[in-house]
Chain A
Amino acid sequence: MATQKKDTPDNFLLLVYRFLSSYKLATVVLILMTLVTLFGTLGQVNHGLHAAKEKYFYSFLFTDKIGSIPIVLPGGLPLMFILFFNMVLGAIVKVRKRLKGLGLLISHIGMLLLLAGGFVTYAFATDGYMAMYPGMKTNRVESYRKWQLEIIKLTEENKAEKLFVYPSEALQSIKSNEQRSIPGNGLPFDIVINGYSSNAMPVPVSAPIAAGVQAKQIDGFKLAPQDKSKEAEQNLPGCYLEIQPTGDEKPIETILWAGSYKFDPGEKPMPFIFEVEGQKYGALLAKKSWTVPFEVQLDEFIFEQHPGMSMARNYESRVTRFEEGKSDTSLEIKMNEPMRYEGYTFFQESFGPAGSQPGDRMYSQFAVANNPADQWPLIALCITGAGLLVHFFMMLVGFVVKSFQSKSKPKTA
């Protein structure tokens, strides 16, 4: 009889519901999450943080080895989804609503909010940085790791106008041995990329290292792919670029390398300059950038070290925020005291140039984040903490009462 019931569609759905809301599923997912976290932590030693995050936590499936034994595990992303649905069904829908379980119910709601916040952050948050010397003013935020191909037009006054951008997602999908043609919509030339490396270094052909590089030689240089750095921000991509004028002019070839981009806010990028139909253009690999709806000017950067040490004690920036139609606002941004405004948060991140000492002219770097779920974890913590507190307090009282009761009972054994 029981077997017949199981075959009916209604009971099949019930089985799915029971499975999805079960403690067993929760236990398995939690065990797997622990394992994934362990692998993801140890994996950072070899892969670096960014690559490990992509491989273990933001993937659907990953392979690894324990010693020489290969293993396959689900990535963090599906596990967190399953955990979310398991909690909704098991801890909110299915659970018996009684006073004794009130604390657990509250704490699970908090955890759901935390997971939801994690998802919103993963899907919608953006982060980048803004670096400037005192006196500089900008509203431009640059990506830490995303590079894009930009074609600029140089005016007669030698000013640059951005004409064309080949986005980072498309650029990074090009393999080192792949040729990709990009139509120069509206431009008097087409663009061809002959291989892209996410970390590379141009080497002179006279250098001994160049002998081992199987790549095309242009102007006495070859582009040598490098192993990816563990610090993803330190990767400098490079590619072979070919400009194919749509007219009769000859194609122009060059090596584009991210090392020609500015790494100090006081510098300017050095694009590859070429001429088509009498007009000067520039091509460069530049960091992806976007703007915020207000400008920030660095008025003063304060840098202090502990006396007699090279350890930073404090670094803070005094800035002025400018926005059309609003009065200018002067404020301070320092460690643990960010500026939050219009959904953007500016954190005092670092400073430079490297090796600067107090008294040197230094630039200040802000991390700029835009996260719709910015404050969700705090709310989730309050809810979860309160729920757990209620639950464990009730348990503790029960434990203490039972312990004293058992002691007061006469021993029979």
Chain B
Amino acid sequence: MKLRHILATLSLILAAPVCLEARDAPESVLPNYEAWSPETVHAFEHILIQDDGRVKPIYTVARFKLLQFSGRTSASFSTQDGESHSLHYAEWLLDVLFRGEIAKDMPIFTIDDSETVVQIGVSPKSKRDKYSYNELLPGRARLAELAQQYAEKQQQHEQSEKDPQFELDRIEGMVLNLGRNVSAFEYLLGQFGFTRPGEFLVNENILPDELVALSAKIDPIEMLDRMPEMTINQLVQVIQQPPSGDEDEAMFSGALRLFFFHASSARGLNIVPPESNETEEWLSAGDVLIKGLESKEARPWAKEQLQSIQELVDAQKAGPEQFQKALDEYGANQKSIATERGEGEHSALEVQLYRGKWFTRALVFFIIAFVITALSWLSPASAYGRIMIILASLLAIAGLVLNVYGISLRCIIRDRPPITNLYDTVLFITAVAVFLGLFIEVVTRIGVGTLLAVFSGVAGMFLSIKYEAKEATDTMGQLVAVLDTNFWLWTHVTIINIGYAAGMIAALIGMLYLSVRLFMDFAGKRNKDFLRVLTRMNYGIICFCLFFSLVGTVLGGIWANYSWGRFWGWDPKENGALMICLWTLVILHGRMAGWIREIGVHMNAVLLGGIVTFSWWGVNNLGVGLHSYGFTEGVWRSLYLSWMIMAVFLVMGAISWFVERSRKKKPGRSDPPPSKPLPA
């Protein structure tokens, strides 16, 4: 292969993500799009919000909201003026909150199967496409109806211990998901509706005409001054009373209904710190409206909070500079209150974590390192090959540093050890696997360790990005009470995941050995030294895996004994870990029994990889046990695929074994010398 071909291939690989990005820009009906200034976006991203039990920057919420709707962290579309736009999630949320009419025309709802929109009576585009809110609007009523129906069916499925008759099919699941996403989008659109009397971004159709007409005259913030002090129940009774014909009463009832409409539309984004430091829960604008309505004492505070939001909305209309200033002031005020309360102290670090894209950057390093490793194979024994391997190793170290830096930021932000959920395991296991690969390279210096490191890095970082997009929820969520112990998270969880990483590396070495061995068998040139080094390498890794899996498993049992009163409960996650320990012991004892030699060690290492993936991902999705983290759609499909790939390598191993057997049986052919024994 000539160098220019290699470079062309390399550039294609590196450019692939860019090409994909450029290709995926669906058309919008928007005539044009005016971008937010970077200063405005920067001021906005530090706004604090309490979400999922913790105070975090709105930047994080924007990221996961957009991921939830579109599966991407950017909103891409082209406008009628022929321009293509790719909005960062923070820019997108700014549009949703402050320029809702524009956001409604942005195609952000990813529909994987056009049958989903057909079901709600919307004309489909291509099989998999993106739709804007306005494009889905004609089917909104039908969507609500179907989503409700499927949500009930899903609930029945849960309550009936997963009776198959209540299981949602693929399209039903997608309709339900779309219904939830559209509803969540509407909540975002309606957040600041109370600041825009007479303007309705969503749900206008659910109000009678007289209320729509009345809405232009009603300012919910001003209303607080005029309202009598009544409980919510009393006010609801006023609304529910049949009309008496009295005009003032009708006006009061109508105003009250509008007030409740705005209050319920403005729930969900908890950006207002509570009045008292003794209260933990932050409030949404809707909560503040209700609080002001309920208590005269709270009204001055409530009005102050609502007016500061009003000022934000007014400033956005006034111009970019005013808006940026207002956002800065709002954020600074929030920050000072949060600091006093001991909350959101790492919000800037959290913005840095996501803005830095450390894991994506690590992936890029690993991909380049992988390509360079592949290029080294053109002349592996030469100085060129050695230089390429060293270069790839350095890039892998850089990728590892970025990964570890990202993990460290996550630890600091949460004040937790590296692993508290499934997403963390991907990052951590990748880091350990890369480290193990590099350690092997330092010891063996034959390029295999680097290959293992960069392959693990690419696969792990890719998986982490895909998993985050798939789940589309904050990956730094709160922990249930039993997990609220840094000691056990540091010990049991960390150690058992080191065992998983070693198990995966063992499987990779096994696959490498089996494929290389088969290739050598067919080529008629067996490099016994190389194969023997691989076997010794794998044996060491299997022992490493056993040590960490065993210690981690027993530590888990001890933790369970402290938390639940039993050392071992045959819970699926415990069993998964036990199976890893048992299989490593099978390999070690089988080899001592003389049943397993080189090929056997590697074939069993591949099986070990299958067990690790089952323990790591599979048992969480069985839907039973104390460690069930919830179902992740598509996991079984991916697992079956990985097991099929492993099965291919096992077949390769079986062929090699038969080849060896047949060679031994052929008369006159000298038997290959027996494998050098491995240490006990």
Contacts and interface: CB of A to CB of B under 8 A. Distances in A.
A383 to B, nearest CB: 10
Given A34-B579, A347-B563, A385-B551, A311 B480 contact: yes
B543 interface: yes
A377 B561 contact: yes
13 contacts: A23-B589, A45-B623, A308-B50, A308-B270, A311-B480, A336-B482, A336-B484, A338-B562, A347-B563, A347-B565, A368-B565, A399-B443, A399-B540
A364 B482 CA distance: 15
B624 interface: yes
A34 B583 contact: yes
Given A309-B52, A381-B558, A395 B679 contact: yes
A30 B579 contact: no
A168 interface: no
Interface in B623-658: 623-625
A392 B588 CA distance: 13
B567 A121 contact: yes
Contacts of B348: none
A256 B513 CA distance: 66
A280 interface: no
A205 B543 CA distance: 65
Given A100-B680, A388-B547, A45 B624 contact: yes
Interface string B575-608: 1101100110110011011110000000000000
Given A313-B481, A392-B544, 8 more contacts: A307-B280, A313-B53, A335-B563, A377-B554, A380-B554, A384-B550, A384-B551, A385-B550
A402 to B, nearest CB: 8
B329 interface: no
Interface string B12-46: 00000000000000000000000000000000000
Nearest to B575: A41
A400 B554 CA distance: 29
Contacts of A117: 567
A296 to B, nearest CB: 15
Contacts of A308: 50-53, 270, 281-282
Interface in A90-149: 100-101, 104, 114, 117-118, 121, 127
Interface stretch (A2-10, A47-55, A155-163): A47-55
A338 B624 contact: no
B582 A37 contact: yes
B609 to A, nearest CB: 14
A117 B557 CA distance: 12
B236 to A, nearest CB: 21
Top 4 closest pairs, chain A to chain B, by CB: A306-B53, A23-B593, A307-B280, A369-B565
Interface in A20-63: 22-24, 26-27, 30-31, 33-34, 37-38, 40-42, 44-45, 48-49, 52-53, 57
B667 to A, nearest CB: 27
Given A40-B570, A335-B563, A392-B543, A377 B579 contact: no
Nearest to A380: B554
A207 interface: no
Contacts of A57: 570
Main secondary structure of the interface of A (DSSP, over half): helix
Contacts of A307: 50, 53-54, 280-282
B557 A377 contact: yes
A378 interface: yes
Nearest to B283: A308
A53 to B, nearest CB: 5
A349 B482 CA distance: 10
A27 B595 contact: yes
Interface string A267-299: 000000000000000000000000000000000
Contact of B572 (A41, A345, A378, A392): A41
B571 interface: yes
A114 B575 contact: no
B570 A49 contact: yes
A396 interface: yes
Contacts of A104: 680
B575 A37 contact: yes
B340 interface: no
Contact of B582 (A34, A314, A396): A34
A250 interface: no
A229 interface: yes
Contacts of B625: 44, 49
Given A23-B589, A42-B622, A381-B558, A367 B540 contact: no
A314 B623 CA distance: 24
Contacts of A26: 585, 589, 593
Interface in B95-121: none
Given A24-B595, A26-B589, A57-B570, A37 B579 contact: yes
Interface of B: 50-54, 161, 270, 280-282, 443-445, 478, 480-482, 484-485, 488, 529, 533, 536, 540, 543-544, 546-547, 550-551, 554-555, 557-559, 561-572, 575-576, 578-579, 582-583, 585-586, 589-590, 592-595, 611, 619, 622-625, 679-680
B127 to A, nearest CB: 33
Contacts of B554: 114, 377, 380-381, 384-385
Contacts of A31: 586
Contacts of A33: 582
Contacts of A42: 622
Contacts of B583: 30, 34
A103 to B, nearest CB: 10
Given A45-B623, A381-B555, A388-B547, A314 B481 contact: yes
Contacts of B533: 403, 406
A331 interface: no
A389 B547 contact: yes
Contact of A49 (B559, B589, B624): B624
Contacts of B679: 395, 398-399
B481 to A, nearest CB: 5
Interface in A189-236: 229-230
A90 to B, nearest CB: 9
A395 B294 CA distance: 73
A326 to B, nearest CB: 24
Contacts of B611: 34
A322 interface: no
A312 interface: yes
A149 B590 CA distance: 52
B595 A229 contact: no
B622 A309 contact: no
A2 to B, nearest CB: 20
Nearest to A25: B593
A367 B529 CA distance: 58
B566 A369 contact: yes
A150 interface: no
Contacts of B576: 41
A48 B161 CA distance: 10
A44 B586 contact: no
A242 interface: no
A31 B604 CA distance: 11
A407 interface: yes
Contacts of A413: 529
- Could you say which of B51, B161, B559 has the most chain A C-beta atoms within 10 Å of its C-beta? B161
A370 B554 CA distance: 20
Nearest to A396: B540
B566 A30 contact: no
Given A377-B561, A377-B567, A309 B478 contact: yes
A337 B445 CA distance: 49
A24 to B, nearest CB: 4
B478 A306 contact: yes
A200 B565 CA distance: 30
A374 interface: yes
A362 to B, nearest CB: 14
- Could you say which of B488, B557, B567 has the most chain A C-beta atoms within 10 Å of its C-beta? B567
Nearest to A227: B161
Nearest to B626: A49
A315 interface: yes
